[in-house]
Each structure stands twice: as structure tokens, then as C-alpha cells.
Structure 1
Amino acid sequence: MIQHSFDVNTNPNNAVSDASLRHAREVSKKIRAAIAADPGDFRMLTGDRPTGNLHIGHYFGSLRNRVELQRAGVDSWVLIADYQVITDRDSAGPIRERTYSLLTDYLSVGLDPQKTTFFAHSQLPELNELMLPFLSLVTDAELRRNPTVKAELDATHGRPMSALLLTYPVHQAADILFCKANIVPVGKDQLPHLEQARVIADRFESRYGHGSLPAPIFRRPQALLSEAETVLGLDGNKMSKSRGNTIELRMDADETAKLIRRAVTDSQRFITYDPQNRPEVANLLLLTALATGGKPEEIAEEIGNGGAGMLKSMLTEALNEHLAPIRERRRQLQDNRDYLDTVLKAGIAKAREQAQETLREVHRALDIVF
């Protein structure tokens, strides 16, 4: 694989500036062009924490993009970050069932186990061993300033920071670097996290490489920013499982219709696409556009004086039609635990093999091979 250089100059300890974001978008365009020219140069790592069921925000914001990258020929690795569930909570919850639910959703949307490697963090002990040398490359102050750590801590509403939460960015760096991924689909808020992974890779090579290895161990991962617009929840706020404002992929058509009927709009009957002044209505129009492949402005013009009732009816029909084959595939998969086990175990075996090879390279660089 070729080591592409698409550096994004962000500081892992600061929020993303407008200039850095513009540069990241330009880099993402270059990466997409390079993928179109030769997808074999790239390996993608992405994933989710199994804290609940995936919903349409995940689907339109991330899952569809993963499928597109897979279809383009990018070597795709998908992590189920089960150990990371306990970074900010006292209980892991029904983590095993949620892991299977995630895997079922991945397969139902079109991710193919023949082309995508699925694995659970907890089943790769090498990842946790890799944390040890990585932790020597970052300082306590750097971790405390990391935007990801600060955001996760704020979300705990005053709970004391655990050492696991403090080292969260290092865990994420290990997840990316062990498999030699060089692209990671992310949102803009996660750019500092990618920069932290690059900093760790650079510091390791600088401190321990000493020219003793034929090539750098780690590839410098770059962010591939999502082209999807931000999807809000049905109440106009950030889409969140805890808010109950989502439509889960596992829900049926009737559940979907019921939730959309309760969606927040406004008092104006005439429908227009105005994200600034009418965010709730604009969001429902955007969801309809994402489900149909149309444009929200044109959908608004078609509805016109039909009001919120017509908008919700159109969204319900569009979303249920779009999700129907995904839901049917999910129904076929969810009770086939043997197949899900086969897919997950095969992915774990492949990921462990890669992790063991990476760890052997790290041991050679550290001169601790006995």
C-alpha cells in the first residue's frame, strides 16, 4: 500500500478552527479522488460503541458512506468498541446483545463480511498491550486538554474522570494504528482525535525507530469528512438515543409512522426549506430528501400549502419504503445467531492476526524480543 500524505494541521488539544476545517474538507476531496483512482491504496477503520441500537442518524450520517467506500473497493475494517462503553459509565449494560444488534445492522445495510472485517475490541488483547508504549508518548496535560476527553467528561454531568476516560484518545489511536488504517470517516468534532493518533505514530517512530526498521510501523491516518448534512432528531434537537427522538433501524413501519406523527414542526402551514428560521421543518424535509434522493427545496415546493400533515405523510412513506429492504434483511439475520457468530469470529481472527504482527514490529522497535 502507498503511504499517501494528506496532512491536516490540527492540534489534538484544541477545538477545530475554521481554517483547519476548510483544509480538512480539501484533504477529504483529495482522498476521495485518490480512492476513485486506486482504492487498493487505502484501508478504512471505523466503528461504534455498543451503547444502544443504531438509528437513521447513524445510517444517513455514516453507515451509507461505509457501504459506498466498501463498494468502491476500499479495504474496510469495522470496530465494535465494547471496552470503550465503560469509559464514562458504571455499567456496560446488555453489551453482548447490543454487539450482536450492531453487527446485524451493519450486515443489513449492505456491509459484506467478504469485503469488510468486523471485530470486537475486547477480543484483541494485543490492542491493550499496544496501549503501554503509546501511553509513554503522551502527557497527562495533553490528555486533559483533549477536546474528546473534555466533551465526554462534560456528558457525565460532574462524575469524576476515570483513568480509562482520560486515556480514551490513546485507546482510539491504538484501534486505528494497529491495523494500519490510513483513512477514518469522521465528523468535524473528531478531527483532533485523528491528529492525536498521528502524533502518537510520529512520536513512536521518532523515539523508537532509529532506522532499525525497513519502513515506519504505522501509517498516518487521515480524516475522511462525511459529506452528509447534519440530521437532527424528530424534536429538532441533536439526535440521541437518550432523548427518544430517533427512529431505530430495527423499528417497523408502524413504529416509524407513530414517531413521525409526533415530530415537532411549527405553526406555519406553508412549507418552506429554511434551516435557519425553521429548523424542525427543514430537518423533516432533509430526511425526506435523504430517503428519496431528492432535494429538500424541491420537496418543500411540492408540499407548499399542504402543511405539516402532508410533510409527515410524505416522510413516513419515503422512509419506510427506503428502509424496507434493510428491515427485511435484518429480520432474516437477527435470529440467525450461528451466522452472526461465524462472521464475528472470522473478523476477530483476522484482526488478531494483524494485531499480533503489529505488536511483533513494536517489540522489535523497542528491542524487547526474547
Structure 2
Amino acid sequence: MSTEQTADAAAADALAESTSDASLERTTRRSQQIEAEIDADPSRFRVLTGDRPTGHLHLGHYFGTLANRVALQNRGVETWVLIADYQVITDRDAVGEIEERVLSLVADYLAIGIDPERSTVFSHSAVPALNQLMLPFLSLVTDAELRRNPTVKAEYEASGGRPMSGLLLTYPVHQAADILFCKANLVPVGKDQLPHLEQARVIARRFDERYGRVQPDRPVFPAPEALLSAATLLLGTDGQKMSKSKGNTIEIGMDADTTAKRLKKAVTDSDRHITYDPAGRPEVSNLVLLAALASGRDPHEVAAEIGDGGGGALKKAVTEAVNEHFAPIRARRAELLAEPGYLRQVLAEGNARANEVAAATLAEVQRALGMVYS
């Protein structure tokens, strides 16, 4: 077996290993250590996170990732929030109402507490140097590795078997560029996203091994680590996975009446006694959990309080908790959307910061490649 084949096999093993039980246990322990290290010295970390502007953000996003971003920012961690507009076309034929969605994302971020003075909000398409990193990064992976990547396989299966675009095939490499361009060393992820992060780690290591270092004491790219999310998965109002495409979400920006109408149609079961039993009663437990998250309470306590009130009382409790929690966020969001000039300014300033950092990283990459001629 050639050296390159050996490296490919090792990388494949690393991707597979990243989701093994033993590896997950190690990653969980390390993630807990990182939490303590953040408390001790948050300045050691730079976080990269973000969203594709394919629709409006919903409560699953908020309780799954958005609230944690604000918490990390408020703990003093340097936070970079990417609006991944180029990734919209990895599996779509058109971008849709992308301008409205991008501004909606910015409004959501600011409304929930992302502070543009402390966090950098930017978009893919506005940072050419980030995307230029794709070229050297692509030299570090094989098409076989990409086709085996769980992220690519999952996206391909979700597409219904249509021919895979080159952008979809190289999706993990683009994600690696997102992380590495700003030298983020921490990425909040769920355990299903660990292979995507491992691909970035593989690329960082291979760049160092193949092209060397600009500064002898450190590689060009740090190996990013995972900060495992403890967030619980919220189901949609139909009891299925919450998805913008299924119309089963409660959007952050929905008004109180629309929220009430959506929740009134939520799936429950025939047992009037409300309990919190995610395995045995997933739909009912999902609503109990949503009420608990929105009110900052324990789900068992919420269920006990509703008792024999049945689905009607449960939906009423959820609606009140959600609308109360999101009322100030929605009010602030409406104010922000009424000032599109300000939203554009926030994005422009974030893009300027991202371009500055990306240009410096690209210059370092070019020096490592020996591609500086003047």
C-alpha cells in the first residue's frame, strides 16, 4: 500500500472512529474539560458556528444551538457566526428568497442576544479568501473519502437520489474552510456532526504534514475541538423531526396567534393524564419539554402540574410558556426588521472583519505553499 493510500485509510478510520462509543466517550470527557477551561480563561477559545439561510429559524434552532451561542458569547468566548449562503446551492437548483432570509437570520441573531460588538456575523459569499482555501484543501482529500463522509451520504440520501453536484461532494471541505479560515479551535456540535468536524481536523493535520509551517513552533491551522451540545432534540408539531420543509415548526418570528394555532394542531395521544416519558409518549413529552424549556422548569414538574388536564391543558401551557418567553425577542426582532439598513451595516462590518482575517490566513497558506512571488 502506498503512503497516500495509507493516509487515506487512516483518515477513513478517523472519520469512522469519531462516532464510535469509545471515541464519543473521550470526546464527551474532553468537552466537559473545555467547559471548565472556558470558565477559567475564555480568551483561549474562538468558536465558529452558523446556519444555512434556507428558511426562517425555529424553536428547534433556538433551544438546540442559538441560546448556547449567546451563552458562550456572554461567557467571554470569541464567537464567529457564519451565514452559509453558498451552501444553499449544494442541494438546490436556486437560492430562493435569499436576501430576505439572510436579513431574517441577522435579525434573529441580534434579537436573541448576539452582540455584534462581541461576535462576528458574516456570510460566505462576501469572503473570497475563505472560499479560495477550498483549492489547497481539495488537494488534501480524495473523492473516495468524500463519498464515504457521513455528511455527504446523508445529504445525498435526503436529495432523493438526484445526481450529486460537485459542491455537495465537496461540502465537508467547504465546512473545513469555514472553520479553519478564522483558526477557530472550538466548534459546538451534536454527536451526529462529529465526522464533519473530524474532516476539518484531518485537513488541518495534512496541510501541516504536506506543506509545512510558516512559524516553526506551530502549524498553520489548529486542530478544532468539539464542544458537545447537551441540547435535547425537539420534534415538530406533527411528532416528526422538526424541519422547515415539513411546515411543522414554530418559527422564532411567528406572532402569538400563529403560534397558538400551530400548537393547537400539535399531535398528542388519547391518555388524558400528562406524563413526561420521551420513549413511551414522544409527542406528549415533546410538548412538555417545550413548555419546560420556555419556562426554565423541569419537564417532570410541568407534567405533574398539568396532571389529568389532558392535551388541551398541555397545549395551553405550552402556548403560554412559548409566547411569554419569546415576546421580548419577537418585539426586538420586529424593530430590527424595520431597520434593514442597520442589519446590512451589522453584516457589512462582520464581513469586513472576516475578510481581514481570511486574507491574513490565505497569505500564510500561500507562504507555506511557496506561492509568494513578489
Which range, TM-score by smaller chain?
A: over 0.9
- 2:212 is the counterpart of 1:205: no
> Which deviates more, 351-360 or 219-228?
219-228
Report the Cα offset of residue 12 of structure 1: 2.2
Alignment counterpart, residue 125 of structure 2, candidates 112, 122, 125: 122
CA distance in structure 2 between the partners assigned to 1:277 and 1:15 by the alignment? 30
Report the Cα offset of residue 18 of structure 1: 2.2
CA distance in structure 1 between the partners assigned to 2:322 and 2:164 by the alignment? 40
RMSD: 1.3
Gaps of 5+ in 2: 1-11
CA distance in structure 2 between the partners assigned to 1:214 and 1:30 by the alignment? 25
After superposition, the C-alpha distances for 1:127-174 in whole angstroms (9 at most, x for unaligned) are: 221111100000110000000000000010011111110000000000
CA distance in structure 1 between the partners assigned to 2:34 and 2:213 by the alignment? 30
CA distance in structure 2 between the partners assigned to 1:158 and 1:89 by the alignment? 13
CA distance in structure 2 between the partners assigned to 1:46 and 1:344 by the alignment? 15
> Which deviates more, 9-18 or 327-336?
9-18
Q: Which amino acid aligns with 2:341?
A: D
Asked if structure 2 preserves the Cα contact closer than 8 Å seen for 1:10 and 1:192, the reply is no
Alignment counterpart, residue 166 of structure 2, candidates 163, 166, 183: 163
Gaps of 5+ in 1: 1-8
CA distance in structure 2 between the partners assigned to 1:210 and 1:62 by the alignment? 34
CA distance in structure 2 between the partners assigned to 1:324 and 1:10 by the alignment? 48
CA distance in structure 2 between the partners assigned to 1:13 and 1:145 by the alignment? 9
CA distance in structure 2 between the partners assigned to 1:229 and 1:129 by the alignment? 36
Q: 1:69 — aligned with what?
A: 72
After superposition, the C-alpha distances for 1:256-298 in whole angstroms (9 at most, x for unaligned) are: 0001100000000111111111000000000011001111111
CA distance in structure 1 between the partners assigned to 2:161 and 2:17 by the alignment? 21
> Which deviates more, 120-129 or 211-220?
211-220
Alignment counterpart, residue 338 of structure 1, candidates 325, 338, 341: 341
> Percent sequence identity over matched residues?
65
Q: Which amino acid aligns with 1:353?
A: E
Report the Cα offset of residue 243 of structure 1: 1.1
Q: 2:6 — aligned with what?
A: none
Q: 2:190 — aligned with what?
A: 187
Report the Cα offset of residue 52 of structure 1: 0.2
Asked if structure 1 preserves the Cα contact closer than 8 Å seen for 2:15 and 2:199, the reply is yes
CA distance in structure 2 between the partners assigned to 1:13 and 1:139 by the alignment? 16
Q: 2:14 — aligned with what?
A: 11
DSSP-derived class of the 1:12 partner: helix
Report the Cα offset of residue 242 of structure 1: 1.1
CA distance in structure 1 between the partners assigned to 2:175 and 2:15 by the alignment? 13
CA distance in structure 1 between the partners assigned to 2:340 and 2:299 by the alignment? 40
DSSP-derived class of the 2:140 partner: coil
Q: 1:21 — aligned with what?
A: 24
Alignment counterpart, residue 56 of structure 1, candidates 48, 54, 59: 59
- 2:327 is the counterpart of 1:324: yes
Alignment counterpart, residue 257 of structure 1, candidates 260, 272, 276: 260
Q: 1:178 — aligned with what?
A: 181
CA distance in structure 2 between the partners assigned to 1:352 and 1:66 by the alignment? 22
TM-score w.r.t. the length of structure 2 is 0.95
Q: 1:220 — aligned with what?
A: 223
Gap change, CA 1:295 and 1:10, over 3 Å in 2: farther
- 2:143 is the counterpart of 1:140: yes
Q: Which amino acid aligns with 2:366?
A: H
- 2:53 is the counterpart of 1:46: no
Alignment of 1:71-86 (within 5 A): 71-86=74-89
Asked if structure 2 preserves the Cα contact closer than 8 Å seen for 1:213 and 1:365, the reply is no
CA distance in structure 2 between the partners assigned to 1:89 and 1:261 by the alignment? 32
CA distance in structure 2 between the partners assigned to 1:267 and 1:21 by the alignment? 38
Report the Cα offset of residue 21 of structure 1: 2.0
Asked if structure 1 preserves the Cα contact closer than 8 Å seen for 2:255 and 2:330, the reply is yes
CA distance in structure 1 between the partners assigned to 2:327 and 2:134 by the alignment? 42
DSSP-derived class of the 1:184 partner: strand
After superposition, the C-alpha distances for 1:338-363 in whole angstroms (9 at most, x for unaligned) are: 11111000000000000000001001
CA distance in structure 2 between the partners assigned to 1:279 and 1:20 by the alignment? 29
Q: Which amino acid aligns with 1:207?
A: R
Gap change, CA 1:100 and 1:282, over 3 Å in 2: same
DSSP-derived class of the 2:164 partner: coil
> Which deviates more, 125-134 or 171-180?
125-134
CA distance in structure 1 between the partners assigned to 2:215 and 2:37 by the alignment? 31
Report the Cα offset of residue 23 of structure 1: 2.0
Report the Cα offset of residue 72 of structure 1: 0.1
Asked if structure 2 preserves the Cα contact closer than 8 Å seen for 1:291 and 1:322, the reply is yes
Q: 2:7 — aligned with what?
A: none
After superposition, the C-alpha distances for 1:225-266 in whole angstroms (9 at most, x for unaligned) are: 111111111111100011111000110000000011000000
Report the Cα offset of residue 110 of structure 1: 0.3
- 2:313 is the counterpart of 1:310: yes
CA distance in structure 2 between the partners assigned to 1:11 and 1:312 by the alignment? 45
Report the Cα offset of residue 19 of structure 1: 2.1
